[in-house]
C-alpha cells in the first residue's frame, strides 16, 4: 500500500499560509499613517512589500487598513518618509493582532 505524502509548510502557497492565520482585532489603532505626507511619496513602496496588503491606492490617494496586518514592520523599513513621521507603528496591545498557528 502506497504511503500518503506528508504536506509540509514548504508545500503551501502564500495564500494558504495567510489563510491559516487568525486575527484578534484591536480597537485602538496600532498603526497610523499620515496620508497627507504620502501624497509627496512618488514610489509608494509600502504598496509592494506588505503581504497582507494593508496599503492600497484609492485613485491617487493612499489608504490603509490594518485588519490582517502580520506585524512584520516591512512598511516602516521601506517607507521613504518614515523620518518625516509618515508611519507611526507599534504592535497591537497584548493578546490582540495576528495569531500564528503554524509555528
Q: How far is 92 from 24, CA to CA, in rounded Å?
A: 9
Q: How far is the CB of 45 from ligand SF4 (least distance, A)?
A: 5
Helix (H), strand (E), coil (C) string for 56-91 = EEECCEEEECCCCCCCCCHHHHHCCCHHHCCEEECC
Q: Does 54 bind ligand SF4 (CB under 6 A)?
A: no
The residue at minimum Cβ distance from ligand SF4 is 41
Q: Does 33 bind ligand SF4 (CB under 6 A)?
A: yes
Q: Does 38 bind ligand SF4 (CB under 6 A)?
A: yes
Q: Does 62 bind ligand SF4 (CB under 6 A)?
A: yes
Stretch that binds ligand SF4, among 9-17, 22-30, 75-83, 95-103 (CB under 6 A): 75-83
Q: How far is the CB of 24 from ligand SF4 (least distance, A)?
A: 24
Q: How far is 37 from 85, CA to CA, in rounded Å?
A: 8
- In sequence order, the 6+-apart residues with CB closer than 8 A to the CB of 75 are 31, 46, 49, 50, 54, 55, 87, 89
Give the footprint of ligand SF4 on this chain (CB under 6 A). Answer: 33, 37-38, 41, 44-46, 55, 62, 79-81, 86-87
Amino acid at each position: 500500500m502506497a504511503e500518503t505524502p506528508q504536506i509540509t509548510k514548504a508545500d503551501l502557497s502564500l495564500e494558504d499560509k495567510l489563510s491559516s492565520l487568525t486575527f484578534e482585532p484591536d480597537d485602538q489603532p496600532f498603526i497610523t499613517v499620515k496620508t497627507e505626507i504620502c501624497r509627496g511619496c512618488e514610489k509608494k513602496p509600502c504598496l509592494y512589500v506588505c503581504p497582507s496588503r494593508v496599503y492600497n491606492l484609492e485613485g491617487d490617494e493612499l489608504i490603509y487598513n490594518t485588519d490582517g496586518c502580520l506585524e512584520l514592520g516591512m512598511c516602516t523599513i521601506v517607507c521613504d518618509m518614515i523620518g518625516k513621521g509618515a508611519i507611526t507603528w507599534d504592535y497591537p496591545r497584548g493578546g490582540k493582532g495576528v495569531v500564528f498557528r503554524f509555528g
